[in-house]
Amino acid sequence: MTLTFVPLLRVQRDLYDLPRDMTRFRAYLSTMTDPVTRDLKLPLVAMNPMGKEHVPALLDQWMALGADEVAGSAVADAAHRLQEVPGAFQVGLVIADDLKGGWTNRYTYEFAHRFLTRAFHRRGWLTGMLWTSEAPSAAAAREAAVTSVYRGAYIEQHGYARTLREMLAQEAFAMSNAGCTTPALDPDDLAYTREIIERHLDAADQPTLITCLFGDEAGASLGYARLGFSDRAGLALALAGVLTPP
């Protein structure tokens, strides 16, 4: 893969210097959209342009940590490892506001970020997601960027995941190659999750997928039936690598 890291944190931070009204919203749309083609220029869809003071404050922390620099270095390393994989992409970090306000529902946005990336993928973008509910750290910036790269590599080789089985395989590849250590389950919960999730591996409906991947509380917050899963149980199972590949 040919990968080019594009620093986006300063771009996002500058937007928050504008008044929190239509001035900022119009600037956000202009920044994100190509003026000639009217197509997506920068992958800032998940950003909350009307975010309150906590968002620029967190962006300041991310930038002070050198998040773009850390992520850029990690992406360069990943590109070396993925030389034989086809595709050329730009990679950047985007902040999503799942802490305050109604712009972002964490579970639907994270599901889309992991699995509904066709529009970004075909435009040559891979984005690492930073969340306002999580403390900034250099490790988190690296993980966000590199996981998105390996996810993109998996899609290039296997296509877009549709069923739970395919989604678990994709995320197992992305998270393990990025060196993720969470989410994790204790051995008893891992064995229980594996037994229950095997009933749903061919599911392709969003209620089942979100509940299996993110857990009962996530599903219930969206009005979905509980299936007996701990927080992020499906993703923890994928990272543990105990499922038979599809």
Q: Is the pLDDT of residue 234 over 90?
A: yes
Q: What is the model's pLDDT at position 105?
A: 76
Q: What is the model's pLDDT at position 101?
A: 55
Instruction: Give the angle subtended at the CA of 139 by the CAs of 173 and 129, to the nearest 5°.
Output: 65
Rounded Cα distance, 176 and 97, in Å? 26
Q: Is the pLDDT of residue 51 over 80?
A: yes
Q: What is the pTM of this model?
A: 0.93
Average pLDDT over residues 72-87: 96
The strand pairing partners of 127, in sequence order, are 92
In this prediction, residue 245 has a pLDDT band, given cuts at 50, 70 and 90, of: low
Average pLDDT, the chain: 95
Q: Is the pLDDT of residue 2 over 90?
A: yes
Q: Are 127 and 148 in contact (CB under 8 A)?
A: yes
Q: Is the pLDDT of residue 4 over 60?
A: yes
In this prediction, residue 243 has a pLDDT band, given cuts at 50, 70 and 90, of: confident
Tell me: the pLDDT tens digits for 134-147?
999 999 999 999 99
